Chain A
Amino acid sequence: MARTVTTNQKITYTFFAWAVGLIIFFPVLWTILTSLKTEASAVASPPEFLGADWTLQNYADVWQRSDYPRFFWNSVIISIGSTLLGLAIAIPAAWSMAFVPGKRTKDLLMWMLSTKMMPAVGVLIPMYLLFQKTGLFDTRIGLILALMLMNLPIIVWMLYTYFKEIPGEILEAARMDGASLKNEILYVLTPMAIPGIASTMLLNIILAWNEAFWTITLTTVDAAPLSAFIASFSAPQGLFYAKLSAASTMAIAPILIVGWFSQKQLVRGLTFGAVK
């Protein structure tokens, strides 16, 4: 709600809004700054801001000491893989829920969401045993499956709310013209649904990237993504602040950049279409 205000008022509002924004962002900024200092400078008291010893050595050290590329690729493959698989399963479901709703469609959606309320820790041991028995433990495909199922309710919900906004008349017209179900989906629905699918995809890649329970408990070495990378880093080397910060920055930077570029689509997607 843009209102006309004096320049003085605008300056005041801008000052306070940016002050709050910077406070919220500060921990991330401080981590990045610390990652660029020498270890001595990172723990200096009082803290050093502009006069610190700047260096890129921490990144080189972390890179050498750990197998960052492997963790990184595992994260990429697992988050994108689980999202694509989830979309493949959820799109038909959301489509039919939105356009051919039954009496129990709403209950079904609520039930799906309620499966997410089960605390993961509660079923840790069975999942662990199941993954061991089926050979899925510490494999990328196992994590892709687990994260896909974990996020499936969210994917279905988001797609459902997007599809609801597509006018049904267009589909009926296509049906009248004799379009088959397959063609209807391929040529009528898909082009209109692309924006919704894109923002669902983005949000789920982020959720999967940041998932840090199953990715840590169901992997050891081969399939471990960046969440496991950071878990291994913070434990024994607790006092190496600059290196810990460098590792943290390396773990969050890729998804932070993706998020920054897509924040507009994301916010809309996050609201399940309930907020315009």
Chain B
Amino acid sequence: MSTQSTRAAARLMVAPSVILLFIWMIVPLAMTIYFSFRLYRLLSPDRTGWVGFNNYAWFLNSPDFWVAIVNTLLLVGGVLIITVVLGILIAILIDQPIWGQGPLRILVISPFFVMPPVAASIWENLFMHPQNGLLAAASRGLGYEPILYLESYPMASVIFITAWEWLPFATLILLTALQSMSSEQMEAAEMDGASALSRFRYLVLPHLSRAITVVILIQTIFLLGIFGEIFTTTQGGPGNASTTLPYMIYKQALIAKDIGRAAAGGIIAVILANIVAVFLMRAIGKHLDA
């Protein structure tokens, strides 16, 4: 349908985006690869040189590394499970005939507009603080000792805060998908005596599969890089209990001031992110008929 010149023009119009993104990706990446093979410590700037794979070896053998990998997976997986499961339940609830659905949607989406440092600081200070937090007050009111959420359960707390931020996103996308379901089908199933559970299993869930895929794809992209929530609340601790891969890299770069090792960590993170990306894109590519 299109002529040669249209095609050429089309390529020309895609070019700026592609070139800019390519530069944005490749220049820092190339520099990071370069640093990752160098001895580069801000605290001893005189000692430089090539160190081969030493930085990588250090990073991979660090006791923090596997903790960080597990924590990163826990964070991504935990938040995905919580937001998708709760999101489906809440979306079904809001989708029932109720009064004030519009205002209710506004309430539910609100946490999505709260910037991560604010969300983390609200939860840390106003809710999870062992003296003045509202949850501590609730514990005392019930006659229990306040729980030290961020000290005793740091990873669970971070997952909880992050899930609160992303639950609105999942809920509203799933709600939008639910609202496009045909009511005839549901009514027919109901009349045929299908139980609520089997209606959910065989009608609602298949209908939502596309929306669920979108939620998983977009959230994973953002969750892999979660940083602000940890930085504001637990600083990766106590010890390394809530250190994720991004946070471990940050600690190497800005606290230990070892740029070489941080760079090696960055490359490892990029490789792992790409493995996740390939799996995800393959799964999503089928669903997302772009």
Contacts and interface: CB of A to CB of B under 8 A. Distances in A.
A46 interface: yes
Interface in A13-36: 13-14, 16-18, 20-22, 24-25, 27-28, 30-31, 34
Interface in A225-276: 226-227, 230-231, 234, 238-239, 241, 244-245, 248, 251-252, 255-256, 258-260, 263, 266-268, 270-272, 274-276
Contact of A14 (B18, B98, B247): B98
Size band of the interface chain A makes with B: 35 or more
B225 A272 contact: no
B113 A252 contact: yes
A83 B122 CA distance: 28
A124 B121 contact: no
A95 B175 CA distance: 29
A227 B117 contact: yes
Contacts of A244: 121, 125
B211 A274 contact: yes
B25 A115 contact: yes
A149 B20 contact: yes
Contacts of A42: 132
Nearest to A33: B126
A121 interface: yes
B140 to A, nearest CB: 7
A130 B27 contact: yes
A125 interface: yes
A245 B122 CA distance: 8
B290 A160 contact: yes
Contacts of A120: 225, 227, 246
A117 to B, nearest CB: 4
Contacts of B96: 5, 13, 17
Interface string A110-150: 10111111111111111101100000000000000000010
A122 B183 contact: no
B85 interface: no
Given A17-B93, A241-B132, A92 B13 contact: yes
Interface string A167-205: 010001000000001000000000000000000000000
Contact of B21 (A110, A112, A124): A112
B126 A126 contact: no
Given A93-B14, A252-B115, A119 B262 contact: no
Contacts of A272: 214, 218, 288
A24 B270 CA distance: 34
B162 to A, nearest CB: 13
Contacts of B25: 115, 118
Nearest to A100: B10
A227 B115 contact: yes
Contacts of B259: 125
Interface string A81-106: 00000000110110111011010001
Contact of A271 (B27, B112, B173, B224): B173
Contacts of A263: 105-106, 109, 172
A113 B122 contact: no
Interface of A: 1-3, 5, 9-10, 13-14, 16-18, 20-22, 24-25, 27-28, 30-31, 34, 42-43, 45-47, 89-90, 92-93, 95-97, 99-100, 102, 106, 108-110, 112-127, 129-130, 149, 152-153, 156, 160-161, 164, 168, 172, 181, 206, 209-213, 216, 226-227, 230-231, 234, 238-239, 241, 244-245, 248, 251-252, 255-256, 258-260, 263, 266-268, 270-272, 274-276
20 contacts: A13-B93, A20-B94, A25-B108, A27-B119, A31-B126, A47-B137, A96-B9, A97-B14, A108-B18, A114-B277, A117-B224, A130-B31, A152-B24, A153-B21, A181-B9, A210-B114, A216-B117, A230-B115, A230-B118, A272-B218
Given A108-B14, A206-B113, 20 more contacts: A1-B183, A14-B100, A27-B127, A93-B16, A100-B10, A106-B290, A108-B18, A117-B273, A122-B32, A122-B265, A122-B269, A125-B35, A125-B262, A153-B21, A216-B117, A227-B115, A248-B118, A252-B114, A270-B218, A275-B211
